[in-house]
A and B are shown apart, each in its own frame.
Chain A
C-alpha cells in the first residue's frame, strides 16, 4: 500500500517499542538505533508489500529481528562487549538498589540463548500474542511457548536462586516467596 499520512504516523508510533526491542536484543543503545534506522528505511522502501489492515508492529518487528539476526552473525564479539551500555540509555538513573537489581536482570537476560531471549521479550515485554511472536520469529507457536518457558526458568535460576548465595537472603528470598509489596 502507498505511504499514507496515517501509515506514516503508525510507523512513527511504533518507533519507541522498536527501539526497546532493539536494545533488549543487542544490549547496545547505539547499535539499537542503527538497527531501528535501517528497519525504518527498509520498511519504507518495501511499503508496497505491507498488507493494509495487517499487523504493522509485527511487520516492523519482523524486519528488525531479521536485520539483527544477519548483523549479529557478523559482529557477535562486539555485541558481547557491550556490557554497561544499556544503562546509559536511561534518562533517569534508578536508585542504588533498583539499579543493582536492574543490572543483574539485564546481565541475566543477556545470558539467555538468543532464541529464548527474543521470544521472552516479544511476549513478555512487547505484548505480542504467541501467534504474532511465532510469525515474527518464523517458527511454530509451540516453539515460541517452549522458548518463553525455558527463558523464564533460566532467568529464575540465574536471578532468584543462584543470586541468593551472592547477595544474602533479604531481597532474593522476598522475591522467591513473593511478598514483594513494593
Chain B
C-alpha cells in the first residue's frame, strides 16, 4: 500500500496539482455526485412560496433581522 503514496504523488502522467488524471476525474465525479443529489431535489416549497410572496409590485422585503427563518414579515402589506 505504501507504493500507492508514491504512485499518487509522483505519477508518470501528472495533471493539475500533480495528480493523475484518473484521481482527478474520480474526485470530480464524487464531488458532482454529492452536489447533484441535492440539486435534483429541486426547489423546496418553502422557497417557491417565499419568492411568490414577493410577487406583488413594490413588495420589497425588510431583511435587517439576522434571525434566520422567520418569514412573517417578508414584504407582506
Chain A contacts of B33 at CB under 8 A? Answer: 102
A119-173 with Cβ < 8 A to chain B: 120-121, 124-126, 148-150, 152-153, 155-157, 159-161, 164-165, 169, 172-173
- Are A153 and B19 neighbours in the complex by a CB distance under 8 Å? yes
A44 to B58, CA, bound (A): 11
Partner of A152, one of B4, B24, B32, B39: B24
B19, A19: Cβ atoms under 8 Å?
Answer: no
The answer to whether the Cβ of A1 comes within 8 Å of any Cβ in the partner chain is: no
Confirm or deny: B72 has a beta carbon within 8 angstroms of a beta carbon on chain A.
no
Q: Interface size (A, Cβ < 8 Å)?
A: 56
Contact A150 B17 (CB under 8 A): yes
> Across the interface, do B30 and A164 meet the contact criterion of CB distance under 8 Å?
no
- Given A121-B35, A125-B35, the answer on whether A105 and B7 have CB atoms closer than 8 Å is no
| CB-CB under 8 A for A37 and B50, given A45-B60, A149-B17, A153-B18 | yes
Q: With the chains together, A135 CA to B46 CA distance in Å?
A: 29
Within the complex, the shortest CB–CB distance from B42 to chain A, in Å, comes to: 6
| Interface pair A16/B46, CB less than 8 Å apart | no
26 A-B pairs, CB-CB below 8 angstroms? Answer: A8-B55, A11-B51, A12-B47, A12-B48, A12-B51, A16-B41, A20-B39, A33-B44, A36-B47, A38-B66, A40-B51, A41-B50, A45-B62, A90-B37, A102-B30, A105-B30, A121-B31, A153-B17, A160-B8, A160-B26, A161-B8, A172-B4, A176-B4, A176-B22, A176-B23, A180-B22
List residues of B whose CB falls within 8 A of some A CB.
1, 4-5, 7-8, 16-28, 30-44, 46-48, 50-51, 54-55, 60-63, 66, 68-69, 71, 74-75
